[in-house]
Structures are given as structure tokens and as C-alpha cells.
Amino acid sequence: MKKHNFNAGPCVLPREAVESAIEAIRDFDGTGIGLLEISHRTPGWERVMAETEQLWRDLLGIPDNYAVLFLGGGASTQFFELPANIMKSKAAYLQTGVWAKKAVKEAKFYGDVEVVASSEDKNYTYIPKGYKIPTDVDYFHITTNNTIYGTEIHTDMDSPVTLVADMSSDIMSRPVDVKKYGVIYGGAQKNVGPAGVTFVIVRKDLLGSSGRKLQTMVDYSTHIGAEARDNSMFNTPPVFPIFVMHETLKWVKNLGGLEAMYKINKKKADLLYGEIDRNPLFVGTAAKEDRSLMNVCFVMAPGKEALEAEFMDFAKSQGMVGIKGHRSVGGFRASIYNACPIESVEALVKCMQEFEQKHK
Ligand SMILES: *Cc1c(COP(=O)(O)O)cnc(C)c1O
């Protein structure tokens, strides 16, 4: 049976990207040697690195005064690497979920952290509003998409101080006004590739702004410039995930770029939220105005809780994979990232409708 992959991360990739990765492992770029066996100093690989950076710049419209880095360690490493690089003494954080809370914890190693608002009181089911961003801080940190709770900050906000965003789970899902941000970072494995590569987009005037002495690898500057061959090649880059990211972004570009990607994502999300709102057996958990286009969280409607296990079994029998909600939310979570085809969303909706009929 055809499987429909709704995993939250690592998650579904475009088939084209998977196929060309398989081929490249056998024979990279017509060299007769596999991608995993070549030197990262070969011209063929240097071209992939340069093209990958160019795809990022073209798709997101990243201005020239920003560097684009591909590093290891995951978004979790950026939770401390970011403050190490740009926090002099104080930073502000918006706490919209467990990932944001983890980022707060690591920032505290480098100075004072002010949590300007938190939605922990309601298990992070909404994005706090009406808070004031302090002006006596080095930066303000947000998490644009809260993967576990299915909430999302849908617009690029204005901030009186440097705005920093963890965009792990919604990068490349919509156009972004990059110049509103000082730093954008995230793990690739939610929306732009497999696990193993982390992207950091940093405005160059922020480099060295913490004034702190840093270990070579922690310092963003190390990964820019001549020693890094201008493109994250100071040391061996994670070649495989970067290659798959390259193929994934080519796929996004061929679809028409981020405007087109956003339209498709909106259509998928509207379809699924529409069914959740219509179907008397289910309810969504996130505040409607903050609903994520990437992670759709829902539970059984009040009084129908006893049907949860039965729906899970039914959905599995119909080929649905990865729809179990995170343990801190319960119920179901369908992650419908860029590469999740609309046919999978239609299949899940059909499943919910058939389940409703069974219980009429
Ligand atoms: C998954 C996730 C992370 C953690 O990413 P790693 O690359 O596994 O460290 C951080 N932030 C958000 C929003 C995430 O979804």
C-alpha cells in the first residue's frame, strides 16, 4: 500500500531529490566515484557548495551583506553558538514552545535573558501578542514555527533591536523578508533536506559583535572568507545532507520558488484544517489565527476521546505514517512540509471522513 509520510522531522523529501542522491552515491557528477567517497576539495563538489548557496540567495532574496553558512550540530547547537557570537550582555526571547525554551536555557550561559512573553500557560497553543520588545537588549529571538504545537508566526515582524529567528520548521515554506532579521538559523531536516546540516544566515556587521573570544569552530567568521573557501569549507562539510539540500532546493525553484511553494502549502493546510473544523469527531488544538501551515495538530472532539486509538489504527491501515501527536500535546499531528504531496493530505482527509461515516 502507498504510504503517506507525515513525520515531523526528519521528514518526507521530494522523490526527485532522493533519486538523484541515490545516483550521486553511485557516481558523483560523472566522475565514476561516489559522492561519499570523493574529496570535498574537488571542483565538482565546490560547484555544488556554490550552487547551494546561490539557491538559498535566489529563493529567499538574501542581500549581499548577509553570509549563508552550512554547519554541523543542528539547530540545538545554534542555541548556544548564536549568543556566543552576538550577545554582549542581554537578550530577549519569545517563549512559544519547548524549542524556544531550550534556546533560552543556552543563552543564559552568556548573559541575562528576558523572556518577554510565553504561552506556556496554555501549553503553547497560541502565539503571545501585545508584548513589548525591550530596547536595551542585543537581540530579540523568536521561533517562527512551533513544530510540536502547530503554531506559527506568519509575518516578518518589525523589531527595534536585531531580530533573530529559529526557522527550522518553516524555512522555504513562504517568502521571507530577510532584511528584517539579523540572523536566521535552523536544522535542515524539517523542510530543506535530511538531518546533518544546519543553515545560518547572518548579517555580516553582526560578526564579532559579542566582543567575546571564541573557539575557532564556534566563531561564525571562521566559516566565511578565504580560509573557508568563501563557503563553509573551513573543515569537512556534511557533504551528503548538503547534496540532498541542493537537490531539494532545485525542486523548490522548479516549482516556481517560494511564492508558488506558499500557495501550495496554504492549499494543503486549508484542506486539512477545513476538515478538522467540519468533522464533528475532531478539534484543532492551536489558536485559529496562529495555526501553522507546516504542523497540523488535532485531537478527538470532547466526548469522543475514547475513539483515539481506533482512529490511529484506522489511519495506519490506510497508509498514514507519523501522525501521532507529540507526547506533550497528545492526539494527532500531521506535518505537511513542502515535500508532502497534496495527495497525502487528501488521503488523510478521506480517512477522517470515512471514520466519521463509521461512527454515524
Ligand atoms: C527540530 C527543531 C529544532 C532542533 O533541531 P536539531 O537540528 O535537531 O537540533 C529546533 N527548533 C525547532 C523549531 C525545531 O523544529
Does 232 score more than 90 pLDDT? no
Would you identify the CATH topology of the domain 15-255? Aspartate Aminotransferase; domain 2 (3.40.640)
Does 204 score more than 90 pLDDT? yes
Does 228 score more than 90 pLDDT? no
Does 226 score more than 80 pLDDT? no
How far apart are the CA of 50 and the centre of ligand 1, in A?
25
Catalytic residues: 99, 166, 190
Query: How does strand 66-71 pair with strand 198-203?
Result: antiparallel
C-alpha–C-alpha distance, residues 159 and 92, integer Å: 11
* CA-nearest residue, atom 14 of ligand 1: 168
Domain boundaries, the chain: 15-255, 257-358
Q: Going by C-beta distance under 8 Å and a sequence separation of 6 or more, which residues neighbour residue 179?
A: 63
C-alpha–C-alpha distance, residues 223 and 309, integer Å: 49
Indicate whether residue 241 lines ligand 1 (CB < 6 A). no
- The x, y and z cell numbers of residue 40, run together, are 570535498
For residue 227, name the pLDDT band (cuts at 50, 70, 90): confident
C-alpha–C-alpha distance, residues 131 and 117, integer Å: 6
pLDDT per residue as tens digits for the range 39-67: 999 999 999 999 999 999 999 999 999 99
- Supply the pLDDT for residue 251: 98
Exposure string (b/e) for 118-134, b if CB count within 10 Å is 16 or more?
bbeeeebbbbbeeeebe
Q: Which atom of ligand 1 is nearest to the CA of 189?
A: 7
Indicate whether residue 168 lines ligand 1 (CB < 6 A). yes
pLDDT per residue as tens digits for the range 148-182: 999 999 999 999 999 999 999 999 999 999 999 99
> Domain 257-358 is in which class?
alpha beta
Model pTM score: 0.98
C-alpha–C-alpha distance, residues 9 and 99, integer Å: 14
- Supply the pLDDT for residue 246: 98
Indicate whether residue 99 lines ligand 1 (CB < 6 A). yes
C-alpha–C-alpha distance, residues 161 and 32, integer Å: 51
Q: Which of 76, 77, 171 to mutate to test the pocket of ligand 1 (most atoms within 8 A of CB)?
A: 76
* CA-nearest residue, atom 12 of ligand 1: 168
C-alpha–C-alpha distance, residues 67 and 228, integer Å: 12
How far apart are the CA of 278 and the centre of ligand 1, in A?
32
Mean pLDDT is lowest, of 164-173, 224-233, 326-335, 350-359, for 224-233
Q: Which atom of ligand 1 is nearest to the CA of 147?
A: 15
Report yes or no: 102 and 76 within 8 Å, Cβ to Cβ.
yes
For residue 229, name the pLDDT band (cuts at 50, 70, 90): confident
Of 172, 201, 175, nearest in space to 14 by CA: 172
